[in-house]
Chains A and B, each alone.
Chain A
């Protein structure tokens, strides 16, 4: 049972001021997003209409701490169909951006950040890969890293110590 005394009435304003979350208040809960959602089709753990309703009610902690917000596959089916232009995948990203600031970063996303900082890509291009590329007559790639590390460091998403510890 939900307890309205724990709601944060400002949560929807916080979301609507975040890039991508601008249209959250336009949602009238028709459920078009959920009805056409391919993730929802295979699991009960993801329900965009429910997440949006909870967010508008002000259930900030429940929404931000839930793994559910990370289950959008970004297929944009709902984005195309939403009659209120809520732009759900972008709204989910806005909510996730807030969640990260509040300290909720799933471990798999943390690993992705470290990979990007280390290699500039999600997958490392090692000598082995370059050898394979050479055999296939493909141009060799740099294991370019410094720029992305710098960007992530400057924005506070990577610290050199993480690498060592």
Chain B
């Protein structure tokens, strides 16, 4: 199997894959990710023709999902850089499709025949797919991050939410980390100086996967987790997926209303937390777009004397 990009020496260059939710509903995630990438010398480039990753139609028709994923991978292959996603579901769906296409020659031929005939593209299997947070974890590393920290976040007690598709199914990620005991996000939080707290059902799903089918069930799932966070008096929840955000921040008021409770739980994307630690201003990290106010949390941060 050709694996050109895996051996590519320009390791710090990536093509950014935005997917559906990020560019419309999670601009603060995108803004903060691009800002911290710049600070850490990661170069992210764009392909405006990317579409949805294909994940939403996997349940309707697996082949249609594979074709949509392959189309995106083909566009990325033209550019020759590894693909970096912000959404965990995009990462899972593109990674799975990528391996399947790379390993199954018959499938690859069928996909390329249809893809070429219908949209004029081919995918030869030469692209690596990864998650922005995985790049911070594996390629930048907690040590290099902690060396660049300029603000004191040590009074912040934040709750990491790994979500599902960042580690699972572990087979598609070649078991990069144990999905029953992941550590990367905790380590990345600690690298910012903030405290990464433990809480009940830490690895539980946000419920986003059933939101379109049954809102009541999805809200009940997110509600349980917000309860567990509140019990630990977390200052904020730290996310790495825009769809988890739809559940915990976008639907937080609806959950409060439905279950007659109040959280006012700030929800931050990890790059926002990291950006604050690196000395960036809240405005530069899109914090104005956070729906739950983050002013109290920001007040707890001590800026180190310049």
Contact = CB atoms under 8 A, between A and B. Distances in A.
B164 A150 contact: no
B168 A116 contact: no
Nearest to B207: A73
A108 B205 contact: no
Contact of B118 (A79, A121, A122, A154): A154
Contact of A38 (B56, B212, B221): B221
Interface stretch (A2-10, A27-35, A54-62, A133-141): A133-141
Given A76-B169, A79-B168, A139-B48, A97 B60 contact: yes
B123 to A, nearest CB: 13
Contacts, number: 172
B39 to A, nearest CB: 15
Interface string B112-156: 001000110000000000000000000000000000000000000
A141 B23 contact: yes
Contacts of B46: 139
Interface in A128-165: 129, 132-133, 136-142, 144, 147-148, 150-152, 154-155, 157
Given A80-B180, A121-B51, A142-B49, A132 B27 contact: yes
Nearest to B23: A141
A72 B119 contact: no
A120 interface: yes
B212 A123 contact: no
Interface in B47-101: 48-52, 56-64, 67-68, 71
Contacts of A14: none
Contacts of A48: none
Contacts of B51: 116, 120-121, 144, 147-148
B169 A108 contact: no
B211 to A, nearest CB: 9
B297 interface: no
Nearest to A101: B61
Interface residues of A, number: 60
Contacts of A122: 20-21, 52, 56
Contacts of A151: 64, 67-68, 71, 114, 118-119
B27 A133 contact: yes
Contact of A100 (B49, B61, B119, B217): B61
Contact of B179 (A80, A123, A141): A80
A43 B218 CA distance: 10
A25 B56 CA distance: 27
Given A73-B205, A75-B164, A142-B49, A42 B217 contact: yes
Most chain A CB atoms below 10 A, which of B23, B56, B180, B220: B23
What 8 pairs across the A-B complex have the smallest Cβ distances?
A: A73-B209, A75-B205, A76-B168, A120-B51, A42-B220, A122-B20, A75-B164, A121-B20
Given A121-B24, A129-B24, A137-B31, 15 more contacts: A39-B221, A43-B220, A73-B164, A73-B221, A77-B164, A80-B168, A93-B58, A96-B60, A108-B213, A109-B212, A120-B52, A138-B30, A138-B31, A154-B118, A155-B61
Interface of B: 18-21, 23-25, 27, 30-31, 34, 46, 48-52, 56-64, 67-68, 71, 114, 118-119, 164-165, 168-170, 179-180, 203-205, 207-210, 212-214, 217-218, 220-221, 224, 286
7 contacts: A67-B214, A73-B208, A76-B179, A93-B62, A96-B60, A125-B23, A139-B46
